[in-house]
Structure 1
Amino acid sequence: MKQITLFFVLISFLMNANSQEWNWKVGNGGNNGRYSQASCVIGPGPDANILWDYCTVSSFWPHQLLTYDEILVADRTFNIGNTLHGTYIVAYNLIDGTELWTKDLPVDFASTDWRNRVCGISETMVFATRSGNTNASYLYALDIENGDMVWKSEALVDMSSSEGVIYADNGDLLVGNFYNVTRIDVSDGTTVWQTTRNSPTSGGSELARYNDHVYGWAASGNGPKISVFDVNTGSLLYESRGIGGGFIQQLGPLAGPHGMVYAPRAQNNELTDTLVAFSDTGYELKEEWKLEMGWVPYATHGVGPDSSFYMYSREFQILRIKESKGIISSNDINYTANQKYIDVNLNSINGSICNNEPGYIKINFFKNPKDSPVPIDTSIFIGDENAVFNDPKMAIDAEGNIFLSNGYNDVFCFDPELNLIWTESITDVGGPALAKNGHLAFPAEGNVIKVYEGIGNICPTTYAVTFYVHDQFNNPLMGANVDIGTQSLDTDENGEAIFDIEEGVITYAITYFDESISGTYTVTAEPNQIIDIEFTLTSITNNKSFEPQIFPNPTSEKITIILNKGFMLTITDINGKIVRKQELIKYQNTIDLSKLKQSVYFLKLKNIKEVFQTKLIKL
């Protein structure tokens, strides 16, 4: 087929679930971290076949597509003058383009409801809303097979039109609204928790997640800052410093595959437009490096299979940055005023900068002479000189190839070192949906959705296996370590540790304090397999006969613990470091925690015969 360029990029919203798994809640590549990497997908090659290139519903603009397995879902605006009923949600067969169903959501607020738009997808449901124009409305779950309504959310949402949901491990929806962060139960739409958060502006309200932490922008007098929330409770744990002045923020944060938090500061101001990388220590966001960046509202950045970070320069090039070694600058200097440039011959640093063409490239001045240039690759100019602004979107496949659109009329494909493979002009093109079978779909204006045949999915099929660990009284045991060789997890408060495992025989070992149980299990091609593990506890018990009173939890200063006998108290942080250990007496004990940082901790009470453990939240 033709050497088409249409392998594009994921839009600024809608990426999810763990990148190393195929239990995605949104099928257009990426993950809850929003870093645009599809770790198991190999996208279309330069001679890919077009599966189909026409859709039944025309649209005035190329809204983002979503895919799950062999279903593609879009919202298509065919009548721009009819806000309430001029946009349909349409589902197509990804392989042949057959229309499966259309949906026009109910109008709940006739004076404020906006156009239909999709903002998430799962194996069984499509999530859609009429919010999107700074208005609040409900979130709907639709059956992915026929478009029938499954539930209507209890809470209102007010995401902007470029934003979407992310997901907790159990599939619950995490929604970044203007004035709050909300977790919605995926089974029925009820609110699990809701935490106040004032978002800077539209485009910057969306969230990212890594493990138990959820990241989102919040407004402050010193410029937008990154807030960290607990995914289970919604508690605000801690925040970064304000990044630059001003209040406009049009890009959401990213969370890399190893927990690095990327904060792209974007408001079309050279004094503030900076990408800052933070490491999350468990009690604070520690600034690692920062680089000036181009103004790319509603864009997406990405992380490659080797953890290289891809961002956009002010000259509208893609830059490749090492995850842990960005350009360093001090917090106490004016970033732009103190920044200098030096010319470095590409050959003088032994080719560590990719020289697609001979010449020179600008690199940042280092405050400390001992610092060395960081290996950086750079692309060609990817912008559109006639555009009001550029909003590039990228997707990265398992081989590290980058598929990119500048949001107007041009698309590009680069290899991991940013050598240009191909480029082509596509009129009014939008961001891509990279499906988990490798097929790549992208929208354009009019009756255009093009789907290109991908090379495929290289990840093996896995099956969910739950270890349920409990005592002889069937009380769940939290904190038991389950080791299956290549993976290790601790059981949660329900006594469960859930793995995705390939078919075949596994060997497991479960440890709970000084007790251990080992065995083998044959994983079959069946969903939701459960392995029941019972500990007969003698020297250690964790049963309901021992119920200490611990309050308040969460706490900002002190906790009170009421006991029926003496115990040893141990409090550890999320990394397992002991932050408090002391003996407690029978009856009432008051513990001062005011010096602990805001975070989640684990509290354990233990004596010769009994043990109790629970999660403690320090506000």
Structure 2
Amino acid sequence: MNKKTLSTFILLQACVCLLVLPGNAMVTQPSETCFLIPRSQTNAPGQNSITTPVGLHNPLQTHHESPYFTYFTHTPSLQSQASKGTNEGNDWSNSGGNAQRNGQSETTGPLSADLLWSGAKSSIISWLPVTEGNRLFVIRQAGWPGSVNDSPVIAMDLSTGAMLWEQHIPYHTNDWTTWIAGVKNGHVYASRSGNGASVDDNLYCLDSETGEILWVSMDLIDAGPYDGVVFAPDGDPVIASFTDIWRINAEDGQTVWHSARVGSVSGSCGGAIYEDAFYIADVTGGGHIIVRYDLTTGQELYASPVMPGFTLQNTPMVGPDGTIYLSRTQNNPAVDYFYAFTDTGTSFIEKWHHACAWTTFSEFAVAPDGDVYCILPGPRIGKIDSNGSVTAESELIGNPEYTYLSPHFAVDADGTVYFSNGGFSDGKLTVFTNDLISLWNVSVPNINIGGPVLGDEGTLLVCGTGTTMHAYRTPKPSINISVASDKTKITATVTNIGERNATNLSWIITVSGGIFGRVNVSTTGMIPVLAVTETVHVTTERLIIGLGRITITVCVTCDEGVSETKDASGHIFLFFLFGVH
């Protein structure tokens, strides 16, 4: 064997030995593959053939004047049917924020009036904004009570306030103003129905990215903006109106089921979802009842004991534990109570009721600790625990001689309470601690149902009339990462390009790959404070040994809830690193 052959043989032996060293042992992790499986289009009650379940009545007729008479005007892409990568807990999908309408958000809102942006297209009425990801959707109304191009659906960038698109819902003679039902899985829902259930129109489904009309519902609905809409787990909108409930297929606009009900006052008859139940509040002899419907079939199941009273203009909501709440009020202290019920699966049991103030078109909220917020006489905001005892009260939130309120709540993950009185000239947003100590407030004349809304990255949104629209967000760090090598080590350059210092910034560099996956090295560390514009360099500590292509992942996270990941690749020959980018 000559010297050249011998050298080559020794080098190959060395490489094989290095690849099986204990320090570079291969770590195997299970592979995960996600597939989007479209929902079956068969065997759903009332779907396609529109077979009506026992006890339900037949669907209504499609609006004959609609230029979109064909049920399915556009085939949605798989991306538009999926969630498009949004975190549902950070979205405000509908009235009340979520399917339970309990005002809870998984994001953390601002503790001070940190204005992110302000201003929007002018509107003569303030309507509900909804959010999905970094987009908000809202009606900005130019004319009243309804005409061609009077009330477009507007899409805006939640971080900048820039308008992304607008879409006009077709106007038919005697139609009402356009209203947004909600947004879910890349679909924005809107209609011109309502006006106290006196106007029938189709439900329109728009693509959230482009505003394109994807489909028009097969049946007419007569719900309106104060009824609101909630979404089933698969994204189907469930719509409760004065005498009707519909579940509409989110994929094509066909009616899944339709059921009858008897609301108290038209225009404020919405419902709430919890697991496989849909709850509404109906009128009955001597007062009102909570009624449970089967979410899958639309079948009416059973009702609660009667809550005495005459009129009702609030919707129920459901807590995370399944407790059903209703503020049953009519401006009569003898019968104005906030109720809590347990659903046993076969019946309702009243847990407690507490005297409360008269409210209409309200959206209440549940705190992260399970207590519920309502309006007590005074009026004051009250926090009530699971036993029906008041644990905290706010300062006065209105004039005792003028008791009308239309309250709307949002509660963030830390328990901060965002409250609108729904007022006109005295419209106001107030922010409270979990125990109802006032933090800050801002005047929002004619706020109506225009918030508060908590969206992505803790963005707080409120809308008024004119060009009034305010977005608030607590400044946060923003981390930029670049990856390089210095022959034998991986170096990550970490820069804070945000508006706030990053505290307790944890980092990890992971290097893996090589022939047979023998390279598996990680280095961790923590930076107490990374100031705004500051840059630090972090490196791997131990010697990396291997052969072939490698993958580098750098992850950082800080106490402010910001995390960032940077992936790179390169090559290794023995302990030399090259081609890292």
Give TM-score, length-normalised by structure 2.
0.63
State the shift of 1:80 in Å: 2.5
Secondary structure of 1:43's counterpart equals: coil
Q: Match of 2:186, as an amino acid?
A: T
The gaps in structure 2 that reach 5 residues or longer are 1-82, 478-581
For 1:386 and 1:145, locate their aligned partners in 2 and report how far apart those are by CA, in whole Å.
47
State the shift of 1:271 in Å: 2.5
Q: What is the aligned counterpart of 2:391 among 364, 376, 392?
A: 376
| Alignment pair present for 1:426 and 2:408 | no
- Which residue number in structure 2 is paired with residue 395 of structure 1? 410
State the shift of 1:242 in Å: 2.2
CA contact 1:93–1:100 (8 Å) conserved in 2: yes
| Alignment pair present for 1:268 and 2:283 | no
Q: What is the aligned counterpart of 1:32 among 99, 102, 109?
A: 99
Q: Match of 1:417, as an amino acid?
A: D
Equivalent residues in 2 for 1:164-175, closer than 5 Å: 164-175=228-239
Change (3 A) 1:169 1:82: closer
- Which residue number in structure 1 is paired with residue 571 of structure 2? none
Q: What is the aligned counterpart of 1:144 among 162, 183, 208?
A: 208
Change (3 A) 1:187 1:405: same
- Which residue number in structure 2 is paired with residue 115 of structure 1? 177
For 1:100 and 1:47, locate their aligned partners in 2 and report how far apart those are by CA, in whole Å.
26
For 1:309 and 1:44, locate their aligned partners in 2 and report how far apart those are by CA, in whole Å.
21
State the shift of 1:218 in Å: 1.6
For 1:410 and 1:386, locate their aligned partners in 2 and report how far apart those are by CA, in whole Å.
18
Secondary structure of 1:412's counterpart equals: strand
CA contact 1:129–1:138 (8 Å) conserved in 2: yes
Deviations 1:161-185 (A, max 9, x none): 3122111111111110221211111
| Alignment pair present for 1:22 and 2:89 | yes
Equivalent residues in 2 for 1:185-200, closer than 5 Å: 185-200=249-264
The gaps in structure 1 that reach 5 residues or longer are 1-16, 327-373, 458-619
Moved more, 99-108 or 178-187: 99-108
Change (3 A) 1:23 1:215: same
| Alignment pair present for 1:406 and 2:421 | yes
For 2:91 and 2:461, locate their aligned partners in 1 and report how far apart those are by CA, in whole Å.
17
Q: What is the aligned counterpart of 2:357 among 286, 294, 310?
A: 294
Q: What is the aligned counterpart of 2:111 among 41, 45, 52?
A: 45
Deviations 1:102-146 (A, max 9, x none): 1211124x13x1011111112311100001202221110011111
Deviations 1:43-91 (A, max 9, x none): 013152x222111x21112111111111111101112265443222111
For 1:378 and 1:388, locate their aligned partners in 2 and report how far apart those are by CA, in whole Å.
17
CA contact 1:297–1:391 (8 Å) conserved in 2: yes
State the shift of 1:375 in Å: 5.1
Equivalent residue pairs, number: 386
Equivalent residues in 2 for 1:46-445, closer than 5 Å: 46-48=112-114, 50-55=115-120, 57-80=121-144, 82-108=146-172, 110-111=173-174, 113-133=175-195, 134=197, 135-246=199-310, 248-323=311-386, 325-326=387-388, 374=389, 376-384=391-399, 389-408=404-423, 409-429=427-447, 430-445=450-465
Change (3 A) 1:386 1:129: farther
Change (3 A) 1:152 1:23: farther
CA contact 2:94–2:229 (8 Å) conserved in 1: no
Give TM-score, length-normalised by structure 1.
0.59
Secondary structure of 1:377's counterpart equals: strand
Q: Match of 1:319, as an amino acid?
A: G
Secondary structure of 2:226's counterpart equals: coil
Q: Match of 2:420, as an amino acid?
A: S
Q: Match of 1:185, as an amino acid?
A: N
Change (3 A) 1:242 1:84: farther
Secondary structure of 1:42's counterpart equals: coil
For 1:196 and 1:234, locate their aligned partners in 2 and report how far apart those are by CA, in whole Å.
9
CA contact 1:41–1:397 (8 Å) conserved in 2: yes
Secondary structure of 1:87's counterpart equals: coil
For 1:27 and 1:439, locate their aligned partners in 2 and report how far apart those are by CA, in whole Å.
16
When you count helix as a share of all residues, which structure comes out higher?
2
Secondary structure of 1:128's counterpart equals: strand
CA contact 1:203–1:252 (8 Å) conserved in 2: no
Q: CA RMSD in A?
A: 2.3
Secondary structure of 2:287's counterpart equals: coil
Change (3 A) 1:375 1:266: closer
For 1:321 and 1:390, locate their aligned partners in 2 and report how far apart those are by CA, in whole Å.
19
> Percent sequence identity over matched residues?
31
Q: Match of 1:222, as an amino acid?
A: G
Change (3 A) 1:211 1:407: same
Deviations 1:363-406 (A, max 9, x none): xxxxxxxxxxx352111011256867221211110110101121
For 2:276 and 2:475, locate their aligned partners in 1 and report how far apart those are by CA, in whole Å.
34
Q: Match of 1:215, as an amino acid?
A: Y
CA contact 1:163–1:203 (8 Å) conserved in 2: yes
Deviations 1:166-220 (A, max 9, x none): 1111111111022121111100010111111111113431011111111001221
Change (3 A) 1:21 1:261: same
Structure with larger Rg: 2
For 2:161 and 2:443, locate their aligned partners in 1 and report how far apart those are by CA, in whole Å.
23
